[in-house]
Amino acid sequence: MTRVSIPKPDGGIRSLAIGAIEDRIVERAVLDVLDPVVDPTLSPWSFAYRRGLGVRDAVRALAEARESGLAFVVRCDIDDCFDSIPRWPLLRRLRELVSDAELVALVERLVGRPVTGERASGGRGLHQGGSLSPLLANLYLDTFDRALMRHGHRVVRYGDDIAISVPDRPTGLRVLDLADAEAEALSLRLNTDDRQVIAFDEGVPFCGQVVTASSGPTADLQAKPLQGTVFVTTQGALLRVKGERLRVEDGDRLLANVNLKRVRQIVCFGRVGVTSTLLQRIVERGIELAWLYEDGRHAARVSGLDGTDPEVRLAQYRAADDARQALRIARQLVAGKVTNMRVGLLRAARAQQAPELADRQARLATARQSALIADSTAELMGYEGSATRDYFAGLSQILGPEWGFTTRQRRPPPDPVNAMLSFGYTLLTNEALTACQLAGLDPYLGMLHSPRRNRPSLALDLIEELRPVVVDATVIRLVRTGQVTPKNFTLTDDRGCRLDDHGRRAFLDAYERRMLTLVHHPVEQRRIPWRHVLLAQARTLAAVLSSRRPEYRPVVWR
């Protein structure tokens, strides 16, 4: 290792330790293996050195904390963070996540390399300038994040720069002492010259920006697609085509008049008519048409033949018949779902002081690890079922008793939350059916869900990792913002709880906004809307089944 000093933008000096080119190549290869293992375990409010996250996300998280009613912020940072991290506890934490002893031993050798001309560090410190150091620092500091979370406080952290929102100054002073103690327990110390409790009214400096009482949180970035989905909920409506326009008519009333070039999918609920001319036109243009019952259950679907690929389907059938290969893919599907449930639970609880949720999210993290080493599909489904029950029990606690939601139930859904979840999952499954077809896959033969007549098992596989981040997040937002209330539902003995017209329109609007929200995709290496994530994941799976990619990786919410 060679010591190199470079100037900081603020006028200071940053000291880096740069390894030989051979070591840097090895470090980069190790990072590519470790990042998918370590990153999903980190707090959703850790923003530095993570793909797809950055300063904008950290500042937005702090603004969101202010919007939840917290008026003050504890600001501090860790003194000489990289140089102070003890390696042995760090490696012990890494061994908890990585079962490959040789890989951990290689990491130990890489972080323990001496710098030419300097004394040994005595088992302490990570080399600034090394490819692995940021990831390992995040892993070690995640213990600090979890400790504060167990006390009911959320740490927004960008590297070693820390912001903890609190309701008042006395609480902030107590949290500052608590943070000091937790850092000391990790053999670290807070910088004595840069620790304070600041009101948003004064302006909170964080990540080079200032968050004030009036600056609003940055809205979720959303795609502006050339094509969108047309939802038709009016009973007795008729869909027809006139020239290049899709017209939705209800008797003499014109409900919608849309250019066909702007339509990617049409979803009809209940008694909606379609002319034969329109059917022919949408099949020619590759536009999907789906009919759902009024309660959201799938009824029928019309689509063209685009995407049919016999070679991909043969590979899919061979994989489904190979228990080992199917299990490898199924593990990742469940691990992705559990990871996103954990993050979703933490995000949903951000406005509440609920320290008991820290234990619940820890169990979800353990369930994810267990899922990745399950020996059979039955064992895997056991871990998934246990994690799902834990997740929905936490969600019940967060939403409150007024919604009557205790656990996930369906056929028929007994309460408003279950009604919305069932409705949303049906919409998402319909999207996944389209994604499977465009990727050349058979949507009815899955790797996780067993084959059953008329059940789109592969489509259900694909939506597992997206349920918490798309549908559940939509439901939570609707409940939190009051866009739907228990009054927007009707309950019958035979059909359970159902959305009324106003509630259905509000849900569809929120669902569409969520599907257009941009997220970083690990394979695409760019931000794409959640709707396109489904297609990207279907194509990734097709590539894995065809041996064009080594393994399937879920998209995780961060």
Separation of alpha carbons 331 and 370, rounded Å: 9
Residue 215 has pLDDT above 80, yes or no: no
- Specify whether the CB–CB gap between 248 and 211 falls below 8 A: no
With the C-alpha atoms ordered 168, 169, 174, 177, is the resulting torsion angle positive or negative? positive
By DSSP bridging, strand 155-158 and strand 161-166 are antiparallel
Instruction: Return the CA Rg of the chain.
Output: 26
pLDDT in tens, 362-410: 888 889 989 999 999 999 999 999 999 999 988 888 888 888 888 888 8
Q: Where are the domains of the chain?
A: 22-220, 228-302, 310-546
Ranking 34-43, 130-139, 306-315, 353-362 by mean pLDDT, the lowest is 353-362
Separation of alpha carbons 545 and 94, rounded Å: 30
Look at residue 321 in the predicted model and tell me its pLDDT: 92
Q: At what angle do helices 21-38 and 133-150 cross, to 10 degrees?
A: 30
For residues 445 and 526, the model is more confident at 445
Look at residue 537 in the predicted model and tell me its pLDDT: 93
Look at residue 24 in the predicted model and tell me its pLDDT: 84
Q: What is the mean pLDDT of residues 28-57?
A: 88
DSSP secondary structure letter of residue 117: T
- Which pTM does this prediction carry? 0.80
Q: Which residues of 452-487 are buried (b: 16+ CB within 10 A; e: fewer)?
A: eeeebbbbbbbbbbbbbbbbbbbbbebbeeebbeee
pLDDT in tens, 153-208: 889 999 999 999 988 999 999 999 999 999 999 999 998 888 899 998 888 888 88
Percentage of the chain with pLDDT > 70? 91
Q: Is the peptide bond before 412 cis (omega within 30 degrees of 0)?
A: yes
Topology adopted by domain 228-302: Ribosomal Protein L15; Chain: K; domain 2 (3.100.10)
Look at residue 376 in the predicted model and tell me its pLDDT: 92
Residue 218 has pLDDT above 60, yes or no: no
Residues of the binding site for Mn(2+) = 384, 449, 464
| Confidence band of 44 (pLDDT split at 50, 70, 90) | confident
Q: What is the mean pLDDT of residues 411-433?
A: 90
Q: Which residues of 151-184 are buried (b: 16+ CB within 10 A; e: fewer)?
A: eebbbbbbbbbbbbbbeeeebbeebbebbbebbe
What 3-state class would DSSP assign to 296? coil
DSSP secondary structure letter of residue 46: B
Look up residue 488 and give its amino acid: N
Look at residue 356 in the predicted model and tell me its pLDDT: 64
Separation of alpha carbons 149 and 143, rounded Å: 10
Q: Show Cβ contacts of residue 309 under 8 Å, excluding neighbours closer than 6 positions.
A: 439, 440, 441, 542
Identify the residue whose tokens are 């894995």.
Answer: 544
For residues 133 and 65, the model is more confident at 133
Residues of the binding site = 384, 449, 464
Is CATH 1.10.10.10 the classification given to domain 310-546?
no
Look at residue 73 in the predicted model and tell me its pLDDT: 92
Ranking 8-17, 83-92, 176-185 by mean pLDDT, the lowest is 8-17
